Amino acid sequence: MLAGLLVRGLIILIFISGSVVVSYYITRLTAFLIPIARISDIFLWSGTVVLSAILLMGTAYYYVYHGFGSQADIIRRNPAAGKRVVLTFDDGPSDLYTPQILKILAEKKVKATFFLVGKHVERYPDLTRQIADEGHEVGNHTYGHITVPNSAPSQLAGEIVRTNLLILQHAGVYPQFLRPPRGLYDMRMRRIAMLLGQVLVLWSLSSQDWHPRATTEGVIRRVLDRASSGDILLFHDSGSLYSSEGSSRRATVEALGPIIDGLREKGYEIVALEEFIAFSEVG
Ligand SMILES: [Zn+2]
């Protein structure tokens, strides 16, 4: 642990000094190429500082968006989980569809993860409690189902924190997982998640049940044809194309039982997210 930190610190140090040295020589070269009679120290050092700042900022930007190696803070799937998949339901709770989904999950003895919208938690506190009481995981899907990259910084933090508190209050658990609406996240959201001790969870296979013309058969076929080991499956128990609720989720409800049976027939085990992400290549 300590050795790892030291190595990482050393790499950062080497990187920063490297950037400064490179910037210094680029500035000298620039001064040589443009006709300046005498290179002033101010020119050299301010050039070096500005250039290394740009270099470091650029690298920091690249690092955040692409990462070196695995992006441990964003989970889309887990190949190390073997023949296991996770079921996730977004946008709820809904008084119409969530109880039906909970009933099927209970009958089939499946634990799922529900990414709840804060204002729906406020509207349906009892359903929120029921989801957690029945052993399912509860995640944060922002308060108002916002588009994260368009949100103001204060709004984004407020949306996440407010929903965490609502979930804590009504479900009695602190949400470990955070899912950005429509899968659109940015650097700020990643930092907030880290700060709040939460993991960003996306998905690797969408059931496309949000589509206005989704049919039960279509949802079943799509999931069963495409599911593979280590997938995180996406469903919706509320929501609509343009607002946070209102669409029919009949197809989702009707498809759920056959999907669970079909996945099991194909040899997949359906597990909760916490158990699923604990599998790693190393362990
Ligand atoms: Zn959503």
Is the same domain home to 133 and 232? yes
Mean pLDDT lowest among 47-51, 84-88, 189-193, 196-200:
47-51
Centre of ligand 1 from the C-alpha of residue 49, in Å? 44
Question: How far apart are alpha carbons 278 and 256 in whole angstroms?
Answer: 25
Tell me the whole-structure pTM to 2 decimals. Answer: 0.75
Q: What percent of the chain has pLDDT over 90?
A: 67
3-state SS track over 92-137: CCCCCCHHHHHHHHHHHCCCCEEEECHHHHHHCHHHHHHHHHCCCE
Residue 260 CA neighbour count, 13 Å, CB half: 20
CATH number, domain with residue 139:
3.20.20.370
Residues flanking ion ligand 1, Cβ below 5 Å = 90-91, 181
Question: How far apart are alpha carbons 54 and 135 in whole angstroms?
Answer: 49
Centre of ligand 1 from the C-alpha of residue 120, in Å? 12
Question: pLDDT grade, residue 197 (50/70/90)?
Answer: very high
Count the neighbouring beta carbons within 10 Å of the beta carbon of residue 3: 7
Residue 194 near residue 176 (C-beta atoms within 8 A)? no
pLDDT of residue 226: 98
Centre of ligand 1 from the C-alpha of residue 155, in Å? 17
More confident residue, 1 or 252: 252
pLDDT of residue 51: 86
The catalytic residue among 90, 91, 231, 237 is 90
**Residue 94 forms part of a structural domain:** yes
Is the same domain home to 27 and 153? no
**Residue 129 forms part of a structural domain:** yes
pLDDT digits (tens, 9 = 90+) for 52-88: 888 887 776 554 444 444 567 899 999 999 999 999 9
pLDDT digits (tens, 9 = 90+) for 89-118: 999 999 999 999 999 999 999 999 999 999
**Residue 240 forms part of a structural domain:** yes
- Where among 10, 42, 66 does a domain terminate? 66
Centre of ligand 1 from the C-alpha of residue 181, in Å? 4
Is the same domain home to 21 and 143? no
Confirm whether 236 is a catalytic residue. yes
- As for how many domains the chain has, the answer is 2
CA distances to 7, 122, 166 from 234, in Å? 39, 23, 23
Confirm whether 237 is a catalytic residue. no
Is the same domain home to 15 and 113? no
Domain that holds residue 206: 74-278
* Closest alpha carbon to 64 in 195, 203, 185: 185
**Residue 283 forms part of a structural domain:** no
pLDDT at 283 over 60: no
